[in-house]
Amino acid sequence: MALKITKDCINCDVCAPECPNEAIHLGPEIYIINPDKCTECVGHYDQPQCRVVCPVNCIFLDPEHKETPQQLREKFEQLQSKK
């Protein structure tokens, strides 16, 4: 699944620089994760780095974007091939 930032986000700006896929950007009110780029850090790290650094624990799995580990790996490979 892609991840999603909830309304509890305090716009501290620590998550965006940690995203290896550049999937996180500032939205109108809070940070937003682009589900097309989010691989939950599969291919880069053992766990999502945005969740590791988030001081308010506001980043969760997005039930609207369910993906298997294999699908996340394939998305990672696709994103890498575009670089």
Domain chopping of the chain, boundaries: 3-81
48-70 b/e with 16+ CB inside 10 Å = b?
Answer: bbbbeebeeebbeebeeeebeee
Q: Where are the alpha helices (DSSP H) in the chain?
A: 49-53, 69-81
Closest alpha carbon to 44 in 70, 18, 62:
18
The model's pLDDT over 20-74, given as tens digits with 9 standing for 90+, comes to 999 999 999 999 999 999 999 999 999 999 999 999 999 999 999 999 999 999 9
Q: Residue 82 pLDDT more than 90? A: no
Q: Residue 83 pLDDT more than 90? A: no
Copy the structure tokens of residue 42: 């599969």
CATH 3.30.70.20 assigned to 3-81? yes
At residue 1 the predicted structure's pLDDT band, cuts being 50, 70 and 90, is confident
Overall pTM surpassing 0.85 (yes/no): yes
Q: Residue 7 pLDDT more than 80? A: yes
